[in-house]
Amino acid sequence: MNHASTVPGIFSPVERVRIGQVLLYALLLVPISLTIAGDGVSANYLFATLLVVAPLGYRQNWHAVAYIGFMILALAVGVVLFSHLDGTFLLRQFISFTLMLFGVLLLFVRLNVRLEEFLLATVVCAVGYSLTAMYMFVWGGFSLSDLYFVKVGLRDFITDWPQRYAGVLIFGFFVALSRWNRSIIWPIVDLVILACIFLTFVRAAWMGVAIGLVAYLVLLLFNSRRNDTGTRGPRRLAVLVGLGLAVGAVSYTALNKDIAAAFGMLVDTMVETVQTDPQNFNAGESAGQRLDLYSEILQTVEGNPLTGTGFAGAYLVIAGEHSSEGQYFDVLLRTGVVGLIIYLLFWAKLLRYYPRVDSGVAAGLIALFVFGFFHDTTKLSYGALIFFVLLNKAYAAEPPATVKRVPSVPRACAE
């Protein structure tokens, strides 16, 4: 057994967490802004190095093989139907294809990282980003009295603010939430991350957190029934600590006029969005703009519904648009109905596997899935790394295919 470095009181006693692996994957999740083919790209595709530096080797994955085959077909059809052989258009198509390919290829690698190490890396990045945002909020003289200025102004100081890194924050929040019974540091971590999510004033992020919390409570109750009584004490303690922190946070919010006003405005906008008739959305509002964009995406995909535009994003095929403003519409636009179905099947695999393994991961995935209805998630490098590493671990947990052995054949040959 590898006796790696551990931190007493933070990790489970039966786990050996290698700090080097945690720091490596945290580095791969650090937000970076690049310019590729004249476009600003939020990316940290250093995780592509994992494809060639695989100390544990590689494995077969026929699901991934089939998906890569479809990706190549979609790209070829998209080039013929949409690119008009324009050099810049083709270059951007191939870049988008390659970036997606990096993630899928991770499904073939035997990653030398344990699930707990990777999850801790996501929390480390979420906390680091949150502390940076809070520091810049104070240092830049921002005020909660002007929510729009906070949401837009901090973009000059923080990479991928406010929506693009929110997926890591949301996922990290639920990972930390499920570890409250290990150490007092975890509730503190959660409060820091939640404060940063609040500062983003992104409605979709709060919707994801709210639905994720409901899912987490359901999973917590369900898993408590399956476990023996020896594990119920820590779970009850975690719930009590959580309730105490929630009461304290709500009390502070109510007493602080600026925070109360900001939170009230956030809730009002969420309620108004939910209650508004889709046919009456103001075209100048973000919800109305999204509906118009989604309509244009559907009209574009009608030209080739099976394989879409072949990794040509909204900024290439829809005038005046930069993003599809939603992960699933983006997948539909780039790879058509077939690509969207395969992508959702990957999600289904994650949501079948992780509720049995880690309630925090499962709730975080559910929250991230909800967030994806309104913003990019796995299209971005950070979301892609989380998505495909978790999918990698889900496939790795599958039992090997059963091989029928013939008695007269030596065992070594039969295997």
Q: Do 44 and 380 meet the contact criterion of CB atoms below 8 Å apart? A: no
Q: Check: CB of residue 165 under 8 Å from CB of residue 148.
A: no
pLDDT above 90 (res 267): no
Q: How confident is the model at residue 335 (pLDDT cuts 50, 70, 90)?
A: very high
Q: For residue 325, what pLDDT band results from cuts at 50, 70 and 90?
A: confident
Q: Given a cut of 80, is residue 91 above it in pLDDT?
A: yes
Distance CA 82, CA 78 (A): 5
Summarize the confidence of residues 108-118 as an average pLDDT: 94
Q: 3-state DSSP call for residue 37? A: coil
Confidence of residue 159 (pLDDT cuts 50, 70, 90): confident
- Find the helix packing angle between 115-139 and 381-396, rounded to 10°: 160
- CA–CA dist 106, 131 (Å, integer): 30
In this prediction, residue 241 carries a pLDDT of 62
Which residues, at least 6 apart from 389, have a Cβ–Cβ distance to it below 8 Å?
25, 106, 111, 113, 118
SS3 label, residue 366: helix
pLDDT for 9: 42
Q: Which residues contact 41 (CB under 8 A, 6 or more apart)?
A: 33, 34, 35
- Which residue(s) pair with 35 in the sheet? 40
Start-to-end CA distance of the chain, whole Å, equals 26
Q: What is the pLDDT of residue 15?
A: 60
b/e code 369-385 from CB counts within 10 Å (16+ = b)? bbbbbbbbbbbbbbbbb
User: By the 8 A CB rule, do 311 and 75 touch?
Assistant: yes
At residue 39, the 3 state secondary structure works out as strand
Instruction: Measure CA 180 to chain center.
Output: 21
Amino acid (1-letter code) at residue 53: V
Q: Which two tokens stand for residue 29?
A: 């999740």
User: 3-state DSSP call for residue 396?
Assistant: helix
pLDDT at position 124: 97
pLDDT of residue 180: 83
Q: Which amino acid is at 54?
A: A
- pLDDT (average), residues 270-275: 49
pLDDT (tens digit, 9 = 90+) per residue, 17-52?
A: 899 999 999 999 999 876 655 555 667 888 999 998
Residue 187: is its pLDDT beyond 90? no
Say if CB 160 and CB 126 are below 8 A apart.
Answer: no
**Average pLDDT, rounded, for the chain:** 81
Q: How far is CA 398 from CA 67, 112, 115, 393, in A?
A: 19, 17, 15, 9
